[in-house]
Chains A and B, each alone.
Chain A
């Protein structure tokens, strides 16, 4: 079970560096052709769209200014926080919040390398980011306590964080529940979403299966059952990351959902955070 694919923080950072940002070039630079993206020829004082990693390198060499992305502003972040507060029962997708999928990683790199290019003050942005992240973490943790079937709205960054837990959890729940599904066609164990995935090949076996596994359970049946049951885990472990809309995330019949009541007040906007951030910047 140790070979379950996961993404480390550095790998996520690498992905975040591939996102494109606008830069305002200070010098004219020739185009750079690479195996991956081509960095276009840059003219002084013009806007160019280049990957974040190259923008950071050029910024360090003082050859460009990074144009602050629209989402990295107090306005957007505060709006996101209030949107999240208004929907205590569900997590909003990054699209709904106008944020990129890897916003925590991108924000960190931009704040670190281009804080002098930001329009709003960096410590206020930090505080808003912190609030938003805390609020979302709180919601995710609350959702996880009620099961893995209602995790919608996760951003890629959060999925990467949760993947080690989620994959193990879902694999085990599938294994636990597939026993029922093998024996009776209308198995209560696994939702139809799973069977639509293309491994509903138990049907042929069902007629032969006896009700009492003690009495006569032909050994080749057992092999078949094992063989077909291998499918779900393999496809699950090798499948791309379980992003929110993935139908494989739906497993087992919906257990009683615990609604988040009124007592789940979002954390108060803490002034201490912004203070800490000022200290942090010094």
Chain B
């Protein structure tokens, strides 16, 4: 999976979570000395790729006869129910620039925990926003209005790339069609 720079950047986004048990010698994860302990009460920010790896580790407890994960991750705010309701209600006003690789993270998050509703909402949002981006890149002069300027500020990386390539493509064809 690691052939795309954006993939690497998306996977290094940090999420918060905590260990379900005391772990030794992992102090460096919290900028502590190497052999410090991390207790379940301490929350720590870890990159997404490490979290996916950690959550696959389960421990079998003989006394209780159950298995449990050693790490649990918190749902980031921008993927919460509240946020997705907002994406559904006003997709054009959502500020995705805060999470620079929004769609990639949603994709990875949904690979990780199945969430059809979130996928549907985000897909609808993407379609609407891409339509708008397409309109704007076709008519560059439109993007000078205040509303559209604000919209352009909220694009995530993927959308910025779409904006860039579509503007280039339209521009290319327009200049060719009008050239002497």
Q: Is residue B126 contacting chain A, with contact meaning CB distance below 8 A?
A: yes
Partner of A147, one of B103, B119, B127: B127
Q: Is residue A141 contacting chain B, with contact meaning CB distance below 8 A?
A: yes
The 8 closest A-B pairs by CB, nearest first: A145-B131, A9-B176, A164-B165, A179-B110, A9-B172, A165-B166, A144-B131, A147-B127
Partner of A146, one of B111, B127, B161: B127
Would you list which residues of chain B between 120 and 158 have a CB under 8 Å from chain A?
A: 122-124, 126-128, 130-132, 134-135, 138, 158
What residues on A are CB-neighbors of B111 within 8 Å?
179, 182, 225
Q: A169-B130, A176-B103, A179-B107 are in contact. Are A1 and B161 (CB under 8 A)?
A: yes
What residues on B are CB-neighbors of A160 within 8 Å?
173
What residues on B are CB-neighbors of A145 within 8 Å?
127-128, 131-132, 134-135
What residues on B are CB-neighbors of A222 within 8 Å?
56
The smallest beta-carbon distance between B117 and chain A, in angstroms, is 10
In the bound complex, what is the Cα–Cα distance between A6 and B170 (angstroms)?
12
Q: 26 pairs across A/B with beta carbons < 8 Å?
A: A6-B169, A9-B173, A10-B176, A13-B176, A104-B177, A105-B177, A141-B131, A145-B131, A161-B170, A162-B166, A164-B165, A164-B166, A165-B162, A168-B161, A169-B126, A169-B162, A172-B103, A173-B126, A175-B107, A176-B122, A177-B119, A179-B107, A179-B110, A183-B114, A215-B58, A219-B56
B106 touches A176 (CB 8 A): yes
Q: A144-B131, A169-B130 are in contact. Are A164 and B123 (CB under 8 A)?
A: no
A214 touches B69 (CB 8 A): yes
What residues on A are CB-neighbors of B97 within 8 Å?
none
What residues on B are CB-neighbors of A1 within 8 Å?
4, 6, 161
Residue of B nearest to A149 (CB): B127
Q: Is residue B82 contacting chain A, with contact meaning CB distance below 8 A?
A: no
B122 touches A255 (CB 8 A): no
In the bound complex, what is the Cα–Cα distance between A264 and B53 (angstroms)?
52
Q: Is residue B22 contacting chain A, with contact meaning CB distance below 8 A?
A: no
Q: Is residue B67 contacting chain A, with contact meaning CB distance below 8 A?
A: yes
The smallest beta-carbon distance between B92 and chain A, in angstroms, is 11
Q: A172-B103, A219-B56 are in contact. Are A9 and B130 (CB under 8 A)?
A: no
In the bound complex, what is the Cα–Cα distance between A255 and B124 (angstroms)?
8
What residues on A are CB-neighbors of B116 within 8 Å?
180, 188-189
Q: A9-B175, A172-B103, A176-B122 are in contact. Are A213 and B114 (CB under 8 A)?
A: yes
In the bound complex, what is the Cα–Cα distance between A6 and B165 (angstroms)?
10
The smallest beta-carbon distance between A79 and chain B, in angstroms, is 22
Q: Is residue A217 contacting chain B, with contact meaning CB distance below 8 A?
A: yes
In the bound complex, what is the Cα–Cα distance between A226 and B111 (angstroms)?
10
In the bound complex, what is the Cα–Cα distance between A188 and B115 (angstroms)?
11
In the bound complex, what is the Cα–Cα distance between A182 and B161 (angstroms)?
28
What residues on B are CB-neighbors of A183 within 8 Å?
114
Q: Is residue B24 contacting chain A, with contact meaning CB distance below 8 A?
A: no
What residues on B are CB-neighbors of A41 within 8 Å?
none
Would you list which residues of chain B between 3 and 60 have a CB under 8 Å from chain A?
A: 4, 6, 55-56, 58
In the bound complex, what is the Cα–Cα distance between A146 and B130 (angstroms)?
10
Which one of B58, B107, B128 has the greatest number of beta carbons of chain A within 10 Å? B107
Cβ proximity bits A193-222 to B, threshold 8 Å, 1 near / 0 not: 000000000000000000001111101001
Would you list which residues of chain A between 106 and 158 have a CB under 8 Å from chain B?
A: 108, 112, 137, 141, 144-148
A180 touches B119 (CB 8 A): yes
What residues on A are CB-neighbors of B166 within 8 Å?
162, 164-165
